[in-house]
Amino acid sequence: MLTYIIRRILYAIPIVIGVNLLTALLFFYVNTPDDMARKILGEKNVTPAAIENWKRDHGYSLPSFINGKERGAARLTQTIFFQKSVPLLWLDFGRSDRNNIDIGSEIRSRMWASLAISLPTFTLGVFLEIVFAMALAYFRGTYLDLWGVVLGVVMMSVSALFYIIGGQYLLGKELKLFPISGYDHGIYSMKFLVLPVVIGVLSSVGVGIRFYRTVFLEETGKDYIRTARAKGLSEGAVLFKHALKNAMIPILTNVVVSIPFLFYGSLLMETFFAIPGLGSFTIDAIQSQDFAIVRSMVYLGSLLYIAGLILTDISYTLVDPRVRFE
Amino acid sequence: MAGCTNDPYRSSEKGANVFYTTFNEPPKHLDPARAYSSDEYDLIGQIYEPPLQYHYLARPYELEPRNTGRVPEPLYYDKEMRALDHDAPAQRVWRAVYEIKVNKGVMYQPHPAFATDAFGKALYLGLKPQDVKDVHEIKDFRATGARELKADDYIYGIMRLADPQIESPVLSILEKYILGLKEFSDLLRIDLEEARARRRAVRGASYNQTVDEKEDPIALDYRRHPLPGVEKVDDHTFRITLKAKYPQFVYWLAMPFFSPLPREADLFYKQGPLADRNITLDRFPVGTGPYMIDTFNPNMEIVLARNKNFHEEGYPRRGEEGDLASGLLRDAGKDLPFIDRIVFKLEKEAIPRWNKFLQGYYDTSGITSDSFDQAVSVSAAGRAELTDAMKKKGIRLATSVRPSTYYCGFNMLDGAVGGYGPDKRKLRQAVSIALDYEEYIEIFNNGRGIPAMSPLPPGIFGHIEGADGVDPYVYGWDRARNRPVRKSIEEARRLMEEAGYPGGRDGEGRPLVITFDNPWTGVDASTMINWYIKRFKLLGIQLENRTTDYNRFQEKMLKGNFQFFCWGWNADYPDPENFLFLLAGPNSKVSSQGENVSNYSSPEFDRLFRIMENMDNSPERLKVIREMLSIAQRDGPWVWGYHPVAFALLHDWVGNVKSNAMANNTMKYLKIDATLRERRREGWNRPDLRPIWAIAIVLALGSIPAIISIVRKRAGKKK
Amino acid sequence: MPIILSTDLIVYFLIAMTVYFSVGVRREGTLRTAWHELKRKRLAMVSMAILAVYLGVALLDSIRYRDAVVDGNGAAVRSAQGSTVYSPQALSLLDRAFAGSRLDTEKTYSAPFAAHLYTKESVELADGTVARDYPELKHPGGHWLGTDKVGNDVFFAALKGVRTGVVIGAGTTIIIIPFAIFFGVIAGYYGGAVDDIVQYVYTTLSSIPGVLLIVAFMLLFGGSGYQGGFISEKDLAAGVFVPNDRLFWLCLILGITSWTDLCRLIRGETLKLRELEYVQASRAFGVSGLRILYRHIVPNVMHLVLITFVLQFSGLVLAEAVLSYIGIGVGPEMGSWGNMINTARLELSREPVVWWNLLAAFAFMFAIVLPANIFGDAVRDALDPRLRMR
């Protein structure tokens, strides 16, 4: 088991390096350091000399990938890529371009706000999805199933933007049940979280119900279920005892992959509800073109994705002993 | 469910003497040498105290000393260092000397940088990472200290402006004026590069500049080099020497760039372990002002708390006419500040901000174009008034013309729209007429703007009201109604014809296509662009939109690669020079990277500009300005655009509010009635739970068929 | 003078594909049975009809030509060289059909079917005094869904969003189909190093957060592209075909971030197909690898392509709205529901509320996404036997 995990992690290393290279290429090509300097130095009194100085002071005056002026190892190390991108490999995110903040400590402090909203949304969402999907599977073929599916499809046909705009308008402004937006620490955050969590669940539950319903239907169509039914087990028992257990693999695939991403937060929710998490951190960075932050977040996102893949593989082996560690 | 509330604050804050306001993006720099935007000034204006400030109530704007004896009068000297008269001509002035006396007994806020041990040694210098394990904010340092404000601190603050690591946005301007600043900053840059080279040599190939300077910031020693333009006379007096006559310099002394900065604080923050925890001067200022930073969480809230060391300062005893009647002088002479804490909440979105203001959770608010109709109606007399709904809530309205101008311009270097021939002038005049800013202001600003006749907004010396101030090429004057009338579109079309573009077509019949550069983003961008396209179409001109991001926009402006553009200007100080230099030839963007974006260059205008910039406000100056304006109006390098008018809404529990477009330290004057606020909030925010019950009932009813079908299934099985 | 944008090609291709399948349905075996299956479902057929209407609107909005410039007397203007002068704006058939809605603009907001503006304005009375009143519209009752902030017809704006929605929904998948098939099939068929490389590429790509990749890409390529309105001199100089289209770049990058799913599916299917007897037999007979791929493998993964295509459609239409919110969607002059929602967001805080912009965007979007979802499900059920049992 341990060797399996280690091998999976080793396999991820080239991917991490690939992501690193790709982002470096993209970001130093998309946004030349000159652009960055101009944007960051502001609107008034920006002279070319000031831009040159900015680049020098932020380590952007170096060549991109190979420094011809240097000798030996320095040919590679004294480059933008090596100085800005390679430290990411050992999670040294460095400083933001715009206001020199330490990105690593910023990520650590913002992570909790992201989790505070994404974790309840996710668990509540998955729970409701599975419960409703099982209910639909139980009533399959009846008009309840039909209307349930129709409702699910209708719900997933509405843009998430509408849920957010409508939710803030109705629950926050008209009914005055919750603060429209905002955040506070610890226990005080409760009242701010209800609205985004409810809206987050509403906007994703349609897709989930439909997905899990097909999973359950596929499972209940299988032979062993028929046997169970033939044995005279009640439909409820069939669903809970057999179908649910065997549907664990597709459910796990869906769930485990997303777990690491919970840290990453939600771009839309966090900006609309002014929650100081990683999602709004990223959006702000995009809008102010702080590419040191964007680069870090891209990299972090990739790491989380890869972690999700590895976790999924491991969880398979735990749920289903038939899966071997090849 | 019964505990539902939309109150965004903790219940412990109820009834406290706290002022609630917002910021819409995290401030980037609170370092006074770098901060240059209004939202940053909202914060540091309350913390740092530069030598001068604008009088809160007096109009026209007037400077008054702040911790300094008086507003300094410059002494002028010629080449032989002989004293000159105050009105000596600029070319004879060789040096201008400003002497500033600092008040005694002014103390800094309590701050760990001043904390010393029993031997007077700084307690928190040479920190190691393990020393600051539990430090997340400046509050987490247990010991603090304070000391008296000295002339050295002002000098240190000015020297910091020259530090290449600071990247002060005004260094390039000040280098032109302050004696020796340029040389000083060049020497510092050499020092910096040498320091880097030394570190590089030690580290070899593994040297990584960013990482290295993050772990161990380079602290340059400013005392190694002379800065003749700034000298200390004694502990409480210093002098600033300029290389030329520059009457506008006193305005600079009211800007945070000239705030005193204690050297202890600078050295304190230049410690790697602190920077690693994001504890920097950019986030935790050290000042002498009425407030100090209590909480700095730019992603959520910034809290200022009363500085208990704040020196004595009284509420102004005099004001403008009418201030007495409106109760603005009720607190005359009382000790400032009135409010204990100021809470800035991050609100990026306009809708939540507006709604929370209406719910009473923010004490003041601006008005977006979309909430305007709800808040303000324009009375029959054309005056803005609050709607009844607002009046019922006790909300009040404060308006002020901002010292800024939003204009569109032509590239005077462009072959098609630029140039100074009569035909080109007529083309530009036609466009100026067609761009009906009265309509624009009505649509996009709900009338909150004044169509401009020149770059000078109302309230700035040189702005002329009434028939005399009208741009005669774009407007006529309606005597009966006593107001300007925009010339008709037919007249504009005729001008087009005379310009050689009848119906917008050139001699060969091709339609005139003008490219339109702007950096607009956001929700209104497309409708604004469409408006411009629509108006140009009236002349038969095809406007080709080229919206780009701000970077590319600036790059195009710098290279002169554009025809028509829109931009804006916020004045640094209330002097016509700060507007008219936008049209001065030597400031051309393309040739000298100045702020004259349309690259307008008129020898006569430039000659008058040189005269005007060194004059004090006087009838003679007014005459020169009028001459300049009429030249610019004739050439029409800009479509003058409009001057925005700011509308602010206030709840009735906020007192002592008077809009002041120049001052940024106004929060110390404000007052609130917290009990009244509490009462109002409770009245306005009763949660409405009925729909929740309704939904619950619908859900319950909806599950009945499911229950029935289960029951039936069961029954079916039993059979 | 006709103008063809690169996204127009997507719409043409989509039409061609529809025609091909409707012909193919009559001929071929599996498609034919699937079609019969599909025909039995009334909801799916209604959905298909609605989608066809949308496609028709998109097509009308994708056939465009430039008008010759006429002078005051209506005669065509000629340049010095004697050639006809054309306007830099290429109006589509849709623009021409709705010329009324396009040109009859009001000053600012007006409610659906209203006769007066929605906001009061200072109206000058004869005696010189100013009163605040609701001015009369230029076209009272003529705007079915009202007008927006600058007085443009909302119905027409929503209609212009159709093409953007269809192009994003369909174009994204169309652009990447060839790559997904190629890489998926060779990875699955050849295995070994080829498989490793392809897997490495798509794992790497898919592990970069999509939104960020899109942002970076759009900043790089999207800036100079055609964004609606006039076509720039530079693009016109290239001739009839205008390849530099911001919407196209958007489709491309959305494709790059979403092709990995399809590729993975195809690879998996190919792995299975490779082991089938007739493929094994062909290999034994020495048929070349490429030929096997072309003859046996590719046709048998096409149903996956079709399923992915219809299933991704709705998600992509929704994604466009979100991207516009972040500010990297289509340009402001190109109609798009995302842009409409973005503006409408602020209008909800007006008092009285301006609701028709939001409603129009919602209705138009809902009316394509819902049928797309229903139709997609039906197609999947019809084509993938695994999910057909019920």
Per-residue pLDDT reduced to its tens digit, B558-615: 888 899 999 888 888 889 999 999 999 888 888 887 889 999 999 999 999 988 988 8
One-letter amino acid at C173 equals: T
Query: Is A203 at the interface with chain C, CB within 8 A?
Result: no
Q: Which two tokens stand for residue B149?
A: 């404000």
Which pTM does this prediction carry? 0.81
Contact indicator for B583, B600 with CB cutoff of 8 Å: yes
The yes-or-no verdict on residue A325 having pLDDT over 50 is no
Chains near A, with 3+ CB pairs < 8 A? Answer: B, C
Indicate the DSSP class of residue B393. T
Cα(A306)–Cα(A308) distance, integer angstroms: 5
**Cα separations in angstroms, B437 against B469, B627, C131, C256:** 17, 24, 20, 45
Would you state the structure tokens that stand for residue B49, as one six-digit string? 């105290």
Quick: pLDDT tens for B326-346. Answer: 889 999 999 989 999 999 998
Please answer whether residues B429 and B474 qualify as being in contact, where contact means their C-beta atoms are separated by less than 8 angstroms: yes
What 3-state class would DSSP assign to B566? strand
**Which has more confidence, B542 or B665?**
B665
Q: Looking at chain C from residue 84 to 113, which residues have their Cβ under 8 Å from any Cβ of chain B?
A: 85, 87-89, 105, 107-108
Band (B209; pLDDT cuts 50, 70, 90): confident
Going by C-alpha positions, the residue among B501, B108, B536, B118 that lies closest to residue B308 is B108
Tens-place pLDDT, residues B350-369: 778 888 898 899 998 887 76
Show residues of chain A in contact with B556, CB under 8 Å: none
Q: Of the ranges B119-133, B585-599, C51-65, C328-342, which is most confident? A: C51-65
Q: Measure C146 CA to nearest chain B CA, in Å.
A: 16
- What local confidence, expressed as pLDDT, does residue A37 receive? 77
Q: How confident is the model at residue C59 (pLDDT cuts 50, 70, 90)?
A: very high
C385 pLDDT higher than 60:
no
**Mutation test of the interface with chain B: which of A30, A31, A45, choosing the one with the most B Cβ atoms within 10 A?**
A45
Instruction: Tell me whether residues C85 and B511 touch, CB distance under 8 A.
Output: yes
pLDDT at B178: 94
CB pairs under 8 A between B and C: 127
Residues B75-283, CATH architecture: Alpha-Beta Complex (3.90)
**Inter-CA distances, B345 with A184, B22, B283, B300, B361, Å:** 11, 5, 16, 6, 10
How far is CA B74 from each of CA B54, B83, B159, B457, B559, rounded to the nearest angstrom? Answer: 18, 11, 21, 28, 39
The verdict on A186 touching B (C-beta cutoff 8 Å) is no
Average pLDDT over residues A50-74: 78
* Closest-CA residue of chain B to A271: B348
Q: What mean pLDDT do residues B212-219 have?
A: 84
The predicted structure's pLDDT at residue B192: 92
pLDDT band at B630 (very low <50, low <70, confident <90, very high): very high
Judge if the upstream peptide bond of residue C385 is cis by omega within 30 degrees of 0.
no
Q: What percent of chain B has pLDDT over 90?
A: 42
Looking at residues C102-118, what average pLDDT do you find? Answer: 80
Q: Is C345 touching B (CB cutoff 8 A)?
A: yes
Domain layout of chain A by residue ranges: 2-90, 103-319
pLDDT at A10: 86
Q: Taking residues A97-121, what's their average pLDDT?
A: 86
Residue whose pair of structure tokens reads 């004697």 in the numeric block: C82
The mean per-residue pLDDT over the stretch C57-82 comes to 76
pLDDT for position C390: 29
Of A42, A82, A183, the CB nearest to B300: A183
Cβ distance of C343 and B549 shorter than 8 Å: no
Query: DSSP state, C226?
Result: B
Give the model's pLDDT for residue B253.
94
For residue B241, which phi and psi values (nearest 5 degrees)?
Answer: -110, 125
Average pLDDT over chain B, rounded to whole?
A: 87
Query: In chain A, pLDDT over 90 holds for what percent of residues?
Result: 3
Region A217-228: what's the mean pLDDT?
A: 78
User: Is the confidence at residue B60, as pLDDT, over 90?
Assistant: no
Chains near C with 3+ CB pairs less than 8 A apart are: A, B
Segment B57-85 shows an average pLDDT of 89
> Chain A window 137-156: which residues touch B at a Cβ cutoff of 8 Å?
139, 142-144
Residues of C in contact with A23 (CB under 8 A): 208
Q: What is the pLDDT of residue C388?
A: 39
Least confident of A82-86, A117-121, B514-518: A82-86
Task: Assess C79–B contact: CB distance below 8 Å, yes or no.
Answer: yes
CA dist., res. A157 & res. C368, Å (int): 9
Which of A43, A77, A195, A202 is the best mutation test for B, with the most CBs of B within 10 A?
A43
Using a CB-CB cut-off of 8 Å, the residues of chain C touching A309 are 203
Nearest CB neighbour to B347, from listed A72, A144, A274: A274
Give pLDDT, residue C387.
46
Highest-confidence segment of B197-206, B284-293, B479-488, C155-164: B284-293
Q: Which CATH class is domain A103-319?
A: mainly alpha
- Ranges of beta strands (E only) in B354-510 are 364-366, 376-378, 384-386, 396-401, 404-410, 449-451, 475-478, 483-486
Q: Name which residue leads in pLDDT, A171 or B611.
A: B611
**Would you say C78 and B509 are in contact if contact means Cβ atoms under 8 Å apart?**
yes
Taking the Cβ of residue A307 and every Cβ of chain C, the question of whether any pair is shorter than 8 Å is answered with: no
Residue B99 confidence (pLDDT): 94
Q: pLDDT value at position C389?
A: 34
Extents of the domains making up chain B: 1-67+288-363+651-686, 75-283, 405-645, 688-719
Confidence of residue A83 (pLDDT cuts 50, 70, 90): confident
- Check pLDDT > 70 for residue B532: yes
Q: What would the pLDDT profile of B78-104 be if each residue is shown by its tens digit?
A: 998 899 988 788 888 899 999 999 999
* Band (A44; pLDDT cuts 50, 70, 90): low
Average per-residue pLDDT for chain C: 81
What pLDDT shows up at residue A326? 42
Lowest average pLDDT, out of B465-479, B670-684, C302-316, goes to: C302-316
Q: 10 Å Cβ neighbour count for B162?
A: 28
pLDDT in the model for residue C304: 83
Question: How many Å lie between the alpha carbon of C296 and the closest alpha carbon of chain B?
Answer: 49
Distance CA B486, CA B611 (A): 32
Beta-carbon pairs below 8 A across chains A and B: 169
Does C203 contact A157 at a Cβ distance shorter than 8 Å? Answer: no
The answer to whether residues C155 and C234 touch, using CB atoms and an 8 Å cutoff, is: no
Task: State whether residue A306 sits within 8 Å of chain C by CB.
Answer: yes
pLDDT tens for C121-134 read 666 666 666 666 78
Task: Say if A266 is an interface residue toward chain C (CB within 8 Å).
Answer: no
Asked if the C-beta of C322 comes within 8 angstroms of chain A's C-beta atoms, the answer is yes
C203 in contact with A, Cβ within 8 Å: yes
| Percent of chain A clearing pLDDT 70 (strictly above) | 94
Please state, in angstroms and rounded to a whole number, the distance separating the CA atoms of residues B171 and B185. 9
pLDDT at C71: 61
Name the fold adopted by B1-67+288-363+651-686: D-Maltodextrin-Binding Protein; domain 2 (3.40.190)
| pLDDT value, residue A123 | 92
Sheet containing B341-346: which strands, arranged edge to edge? B18-23, B341-346, B301-306, B291-297
Confirm if C311 and C320 have CB atoms less than 8 A apart. Answer: no
Q: What is the CATH number of domain C2-98+153-389?
A: 1.10.3720.10
Q: Do A19 and C208 touch (CB under 8 A)?
A: yes
Complex ipTM value: 0.78
* Topology, domain B405-645: Dipeptide-binding Protein; domain 3 (3.10.105)
Question: What's the pLDDT band for B676 if we cut at 50, 70, 90?
Answer: very high
Cα within 13 Å of Cα(B459), Cβ side: 23
pLDDT of B45: 93
- Residue A76 confidence class, pLDDT cut points 50, 70, 90: confident
Taking CA atoms, A231 is separated from A237, A244, B222, C204, in Å, by 12, 18, 91, 49
**Would you call A188 and B10 a contact, using CB atoms and an 8 Å cutoff?**
yes
Q: Which residue has the higher pLDDT, B494 or C341?
A: B494
**Min CA distance, B90 vs chain A (Å)?**
24
| Residue spans in chain C of domains classed CATH 1.10.3720.10 | 2-98+153-389
| pLDDT at residue B449 is higher than 80 | yes
C236-268 per-position pLDDT tens digit: 777 778 877 888 888 888 888 888 888 888 888
- pLDDT at position A31: 65
Q: Which residues of B touch C352 (CB under 8 A)?
A: 373
pLDDT at B270 over 80: yes
Flag if A306 and C327 touch (Cβ within 8 Å). no
Using the Cβ of A99 and the Cβ atoms of chain B, whether some distance falls under 8 Å is answered with yes
pLDDT in tens, B472-509: 999 998 888 788 899 999 999 999 999 988 888 887 77
Residue A317: alpha-carbon gap to chain centroid: 24
Return the structure tokens found at B463.
């702005």
